Structure 1
Amino acid sequence: MIKLIAIFLSLFLVLGWGEPVFAQSPPSNLTPEQLQIRDELGDKAFAATDRGDFETAEKFWTQVLEKDPTNAAVWSNRGNSRVSQNKLNEALADYNKAVELAPNVTDPYLNRGTALEGLGRWEDAISDYNHVLELDPSDAMAYNNRGNAEAGLGKWQQAIADYQKSADIAPNFAFARANYAIALYETGEKDEAIHQMKNILRKYPKFADVRASLTAALWAKGEQGEAESNWVAAVGLDPRYKDINWVKNIRRWSPSMVSALEKFLKLQ
């Protein structure tokens, strides 16, 4: 059995991975020996993924597909490795094949949505997330990701509702809570956003994204000392937050939060 990995929130396509889930594929006609080789290649692909070597992972998944071309999980996993290399159109083709082979499994739709978001196809992404929620109304990731796509359309109140729903379903899903705080900041609820960020950090003190967003919010509020302290922690955990283009276009913070961080960076 090849595991199907769901991309961890289209928060930002290269940030990380969710927990693997198993997906059923059509019965294979492979011999036991061929099955063993396939699974060994799959293990190598997962190991490469764990190392962040997505190019190598893609090569292994391609080899698996040569042996087992009707396995939806493998198509979706190769799509994940391609998304992580920003090969979005190629990933989209893989996800389309996975959906064709396993139309009632949620993860290919969820993963395809992230690729569609990366391409700026917000409405198409929302359609995929809606379908996931039709199949599984308690899918916290689908609510979070739909919120991301709605944010891409500037529909911040809808995004807030979806982030909150995601966090309600999965209280330990910290990224949904982080997105919720950023969306609140965008709608002018800045003090509540800061309150939410601080609450998240009490439980997850090494959450770089929230350290960085709290830095921006506190700096804009005039609380420079606390902002600086959080910034040291943020960039120590993840230096990508020094790159405003990455924050804006890959992480996709809200415009107000991006602006606040940009002002902080200019005065550094």
Structure 2
Amino acid sequence: MTLRKSIPFIFAIGVIAIAPSFPTIAASSPITVAQLSPSELFDRAYAKQQKGDYRGAIADYTQAIRLKPDFIAAYGNRGNSKSRLGDYRGAIADYNQVLKLNPNDPLAYLNRGDARSELGDKKGAIADYTQAIKLKPDYADAYYNRGIDRSATGDKKGAIADFTKAIELDPEYIGAYGNRGNIRFDLGDRQGAINDYNQVLKINANDPIAYYNRARVRAAMGDRTNAIADYQKTIDLTRNSNNSRLRQNAINALRQLQR
């Protein structure tokens, strides 16, 4: 199962932007940036962000910040948009500004940790995730992300501990089960790995990656019949998907077992 992290959005303090709140202006009068308040710019930026228009969102968040220099949510969401575009250094600068305005924001530490990780600064990322956990001890995503980077730095047991804690906090955290299963397999705990993949499939019976990973473990254990069944299931589930690499890997592995 591929290690992945998601960057959650930051919303305005005390306000969640659900629908844009633009002023009512006659159709003959186009809305200009100068006519929008910081909160209206934020709403418009967030709508653009949700649609994948990250550059447009950044422009509106930037204008909102010009009008309201202490607009924490605008800095945070601008950082998220920059991350989506691969501008991790720019994102870190925005998360730094969030933390300057509010040093106790666990989400800013989480997001800055993600950006640092993408730049290869695993040590810095782990430090940020740890700080997020100190501020919010029930932060499952912070444990999960720290587990990913602990695994990447060779701390497999630490990673298992973090994934286990994430699962304790969120019993349906599929990524935590899957990644813990991967590490258990790497460490030789094959049955433990299968148990984790089984749990993934209990939550989502159509997860092709879990079938593929369970097939690998079953093949390593000599359980040829069930390994073949899992590889075939992977192939069936990816028949109409964009995951061509996983599908081809399953086809190749199945051919090897059927020789």
TM-score range normalised by the length of the shorter chain:
0.7 to 0.9
Task: Report the Cα offset of residue 90 of structure 1.
Answer: 1.4
Residue of structure 2 aligned with 1:226, choices 227, 230, 249: 230
The equivalent of 1:105 in structure 2 is 105
Q: Does 1:180 align with 2:205?
A: no
Task: Report the Cα offset of residue 183 of structure 1.
Answer: 1.9
Distance 1:54 1:164, change over 3 A: same
- 2:10–2:73 contact (8 Å) kept in structure 1: no
Distance 1:235 1:78, change over 3 A: farther
The equivalent of 1:164 in structure 2 is 164
Q: How many residues align?
A: 235
Equivalent positions of 1:60-99 (< 5 A) are 60-99=60-99
The one-letter code matched in structure 2 to 1:205 is A
Distance 1:189 1:56, change over 3 A: farther
Q: Does 1:12 align with 2:4?
A: yes
Distance in 1, Cα, partners of 2:234 & 2:169: 29
Please say which structure displays the higher CA radius of gyration.
2
TM-score norm. by structure 2 comes to 0.76
- 2:209–2:246 contact (8 Å) kept in structure 1: no
Cα deviations by residue, 1:125-173 (Å, 9 ceiling, x for unpaired): 1111111121121211111111111011011111000100111011122
Task: Report the Cα offset of residue 114 of structure 1.
Answer: 0.4
Give the 3-state SS of the residue equivalent to 1:41 in structure 2. helix
The equivalent of 1:145 in structure 2 is 145
The one-letter code matched in structure 2 to 1:201 is L
Unaligned runs of 5+ in 2: 16-22, 24-33
Unaligned runs of 5+ in 1: 1-9, 26-32, 245-259
Cα deviations by residue, 1:101-124 (Å, 9 ceiling, x for unpaired): 110111100100001111111111
Distance in 2, Cα, partners of 1:263 & 1:220: 15
The one-letter code matched in structure 2 to 1:140 is A
Give the 3-state SS of the residue equivalent to 1:70 in structure 2. coil
The equivalent of 1:251 in structure 2 is none
Task: Report the Cα offset of residue 18 of structure 1.
Answer: 4.1
Distance 1:243 1:22, change over 3 A: farther
Distance in 2, Cα, partners of 1:204 & 1:180: 16
TM-score norm. by structure 1 comes to 0.73
Distance in 2, Cα, partners of 1:234 & 1:20: 34
Distance 1:226 1:207, change over 3 A: closer
The one-letter code matched in structure 1 to 2:198 is K
Residue identity over aligned pairs, in percent, reads 26
- 2:140–2:165 contact (8 Å) kept in structure 1: yes
* Bigger relative CO (Cα 8 Å, ≥ 6 apart): 1
The equivalent of 2:26 in structure 1 is none
The equivalent of 2:29 in structure 1 is none
Distance in 2, Cα, partners of 1:234 & 1:201: 15
Distance in 1, Cα, partners of 2:247 & 2:67: 42
Distance in 2, Cα, partners of 1:235 & 1:129: 38
- 2:234–2:247 contact (8 Å) kept in structure 1: no
